[in-house]
Chain A
Amino acid sequence: MRPRIGVLALQGDFAEHIQMLDMIGIDSIEVRKVQQLSEIDGLIIPGGESTTIVKLLHMFDFVDDLKSHVESGMALWGTCAGMIVIARELADPYPTPLNLIDIGVARNYFGRQVDSFEAELKIKGIEGDPMRAVFIRAPIVQDTGDDIETLATVPATGDHPEQAVAVKSGRVLATSFHPELTQDTRLHSLFVKLAEDARIDENRTNAKRRLTEETASKV
């Protein structure tokens, strides 16, 4: 059975993620309402404006349910703004992140839009050539908790240590850059595998049923 994947469609480049999943034969849904979280095995939080996405997640009552779904084993992937949204904490005053993965993140680490760039990036778990990584006003991972696996880093430069731009913890994935703006689907395939694991996980199945009932009783 193929996993069902949702792309958070409150704001940002969700259409590009849907297109990428389509290229590898995965149908996905646009998630605009919290009830839809019970229909999916994995959720992608796309690029966009992190302050806007966090604000909309609160406005439309996603925060508690999203946390419960991730704790129950739903796969989750944040790209750029999505990484900021799911971080434990930020070096910046805004927004307040959701603490769904144990990383500290700094926004706009590389500077403003005129400093945005592309580069070749070797990523652990991705076979073959390096990926073309598109960094747009991109964040960086400044510190990682114990169970965080670093998948890709930018090298140390001058007085700056080597820092992570792609990390994974269980079924939660976070990347500073935008694979959805390229034609390279390898990271999307990796995420689909995480969602496949979630689909056959009994804890997740039971939790989905419970959360569906709880959400229904709230509405």
Chain B
Amino acid sequence: MATSTNGARGAQRWKEMSKPEVGDWRVKGGLAQMLKGGVIMDVVTPDQAKIAEDAGAVSVMALERVPSDIRRDGGVARMSDPDLISGIIDAVSIPVMAKARIGHFVEAQILESLGVDYCDESEVLTPADNEYHIDKWQYKMPYVCGARNIGEALRRIGEGAAMIRTKGEAGTGDIVHAVTHARQILADIRTIQNAPTEELMSLARDYQAPYELVVEVARTGKLPVVNFAAGGIATPADAALLMQIGVEGVFVGSGIFKSSNPAKMADAIVRATTHFNDPDMLAEISRGLGDAMPGIEANKIPEDEQLQTRGW
């Protein structure tokens, strides 16, 4: 660690000399590119963070409670204690993410000050603002945000998000909504891609999305940032399902440390995310993992108790 800190100081002057752009768009989105094909795991202690790193996680999400406990406990869920986040940052060499409440830009400022590598402006925490999300362009720290459809994804990107994830119902262990959102976003992209150019402005109006970003999607056939799945992933097969549908990597929240053998489950989900297209391999990977997390059927949760409807 000492080497890196000294190096950072020495490099600072060189960076000033050669006039580079720090924390710009390519560098922010670039880190998400590096996470592709990987698994990002929720952890609540430095020990869990080590287990995740050893299992091959590309990043960890530092939290006080995993989503299934937040759901069970109720009450207001906020940013985690900086002590907890710093403890996890010190414990691992992989990038560390942390959550701020929707619209709570001061929690975000605090996370940036702690050196968090990616901020999740997350519906899993209780929203701080019913109207506005954070202006994410104001930070060197990149952001990941949840989305259920192309409009929501492009609005978040318009606000500066450098990575998108689905908003599957967190803490349920039920994959159904992550699948719905991933399919919806990909279907919307196909609609945009197949539309003649004169229809793009009307599509932008219908999706409530920035026109320039709709044009960009029409040109490239994909989101302008990396697109992961999140919410309800509990088994290697769940991870592979989302990868085959077309996301670029997965977040696993409660699914690892609420299973009966977390180290084994973590390892298996990492393998499955790499070999998502190989059924023989997936069969091997899925053997003898113990119990997956106990789940709640997400379709039975009334809409006003769903987390995914937070934000717009």
Residues of A within 8 A of B (CB): 9-16, 32, 47-49, 51-52, 55-56, 59-60, 80-81, 91-92, 94, 106-120, 134-137, 140, 142, 154-155, 157-160, 178, 181
Contacts and interface: CB of A to CB of B under 8 A. Distances in A.
Contacts of A14: 36-37
Given A94-B93, A117-B20, A178-B30, A155 B14 contact: yes
Interface of B: 3-15, 17-24, 26-28, 30-31, 33-38, 53-59, 93-95, 112, 115, 117-118, 140-142, 270-271, 273-275, 278
A118 B20 contact: yes
Contact of A157 (B10, B30, B112, B278): B10
A140 B18 contact: no
A-B pairs with lowest CB-CB distance, top 4 = A160-B10, A111-B8, A113-B117, A119-B20
Contact of B21 (A13, A110, A117, A181): A117
Contacts of B8: 109-111, 115
A109 B4 contact: yes
Given A51-B94, A106-B4, A160-B6, A13 B34 contact: yes
A49 B35 contact: yes
Contacts of B270: 52, 55-56
A15 B30 CA distance: 13
Contact of A117 (B22, B33, B141, B275): B22
Nearest to B1: A92
A134 B34 CA distance: 12
Nearest to B10: A160
Contacts of B12: 157
A137 B95 contact: yes
Contacts of B28: 116
Nearest to A178: B30
A91 B3 CA distance: 8
Given A106-B3, A116-B22, A47 B11 contact: no
A49 B14 contact: no
Given A52-B56, A52-B57, A106-B4, A113 B38 contact: no
B95 A113 contact: yes
A115 B8 CA distance: 8
A44 B1 CA distance: 28
Given A49-B59, A113-B117, A181 B26 contact: yes
Contacts of A91: 3
A137 B21 contact: no
B17 A155 contact: yes
Of A80, A92, A115, most B-chain CB atoms within 10 Å: A115
Contacts of B117: 112-114, 137
Contacts of B35: 48-49
Contacts of B278: 32
28 contacts: A11-B58, A12-B37, A12-B38, A15-B36, A32-B274, A47-B34, A48-B37, A48-B58, A51-B94, A52-B270, A55-B55, A56-B56, A56-B270, A92-B3, A94-B53, A110-B7, A112-B115, A113-B118, A114-B112, A114-B117, A115-B8, A119-B20, A137-B34, A137-B95, A142-B3, A155-B14, A157-B14, A181-B33
